[in-house]
Amino acid sequence: MSDFVNIRVDGEEYVLRPEDGGLQVGRRVGGDVTWLDDIDTSVFPAEARAAIDRGDAEDQSLLTALRGVIQAEVERGG
């Protein structure tokens, strides 16, 4: 995966950035990125981890995993 990958999830734009065996997830609003969470990708299914490695922003298993991250952020009040 490159330094940053832009990805659309349910009509919103997010940014993924690999970081020390994990993944930073941020939400892009205008020209700014608000970083939401650092994820240990070992909790993602193998298919989602492979999509991250490939930089495949349209992989359904990755989108499903990210929806879970986003939902957790919403439930925390983010």
Q: Strand, helix or coil at 34?
A: strand
Q: Residue 44: its pLDDT value, please?
A: 92
pLDDT tens digits, one per residue of 10-56 = 888 999 988 887 899 999 888 899 998 899 989 999 999 999 888 88
pLDDT at 73 over 60: yes
pLDDT at 2 over 60: no
- C-alpha 13/C-alpha 28 separation (Å) is 6
Q: How far is CA 40 from the centre of its chain?
A: 11
